[in-house]
């Protein structure tokens, strides 16, 4: 049973979808483990994911519980956290390319 000592996993909600997380995981680790490589789109519509992984580059920005521009690589996952990437649900903004 999730959330118990024998099974400490819990759910976070990424663009409304429940995704399993473990204590000690950063949001970046939860997203990557769930197969989500794109964490956001830039103003020009280009996909971005984790890059420096240590809080310096600000590429992995997501919205966490309503607070914009949080670094997924530095944010510990907490039970019930609501994360918006805009990528699992909608894909790139209309008219934006997905390439580099």
Partner 1 sequence: MNAGVAGPLPAPQGPSTDVLVVGAGPAGLAAAVAAADAGLRVMLLDESPVAGGQYLAAYSAAAGEHLDSSHQHLSTSQPSGGSGNGAGLSPTRAERFGHALLGRLSAGAVDWRPGTLVWSLGAEADPAPACGLLSVAIYAHGATEHLSAGAVILAAGAREGFVPFPGWTLPGVMSAGAAQLLAKRHGLKPGRRVLIAGSGPLLLPVAVRLATPDGAGAPGTRVVGVLEAAHLPAWLRCGASLLAGVAAAADRDRLGEAVRYLAALARARVPYRFGRAVTAALGDGRLEAVTVARTDALGRPIPGTAETIPADALCIGFGLVPNVELAQLAGAASLFDPARGGWVPETDAFLETSVPGLFVAGETAGVAGAEAALSQGRLAALAAACRLGRVSQADLQRERDGSARERAAALRFGALINTLFAPPSGCQAVITDDTLVCRCEEVAAGEVRAAIAAGAVTLDALKTRTRVGQGPCQGRTCGPILARLIAAEMGTAPEAAGRFGVRPPVKPVPFAALASTVPASPARDLRPAREAGR
Tokens at 48, concatenated: 């971005």
94 binds partner 1 per the rule CB under 8 A:
no
| Contact assessment for residue 2 and residue 9, using Cβ atoms and an 8 Å cutoff | yes
Size of interface with partner 1, in residues (CB under 8 A): 42
Q: Which residues make beta-bridge pairs with 84?
A: 63
User: Which pair of structure tokens corresponds to residue 36?
Assistant: 């989500």
Residue of the chain from 47, 62, 83, 84 that contacts partner 1 (CB under 8 A): 47
Q: Which residue has the tokens 């607070």?
A: 67
Site for partner 1 in 49-68 (CB under 8 A): 49-59, 61, 67
For partner 1, which residue of 13, 20, 48, 63 counts as binding (CB under 8 A)? 48
Distance in angstroms between the alpha carbons of the first and the last residue of the chain: 42
| Contact residues: partner 1, CB under 8 A | 8, 22-26, 28-29, 32-33, 37-39, 42-44, 46-59, 61, 67, 69, 73-76, 78, 92, 98-100
């Amino acid at each position: 049973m999730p959330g118990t000592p024998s099974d400490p996993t819990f759910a976070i909600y990424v663009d409304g979808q429940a995704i399993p997380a473990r204590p000690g995981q950063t949001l970046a680790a939860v997203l990557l483990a769930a197969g989500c490589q794109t964490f956001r789109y830039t103003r020009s519509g280009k996909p971005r994911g984790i890059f420096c992984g240590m809080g310096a580059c600000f590429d992995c920005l997501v919205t966490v519980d309503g607070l914009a521009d949080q670094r997924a690589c530095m944010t510990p996952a907490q039970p019930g956290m609501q994360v918006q990437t805009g990528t699992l649900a909608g894909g790139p903004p209309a008219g934006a390319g997905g390439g580099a």
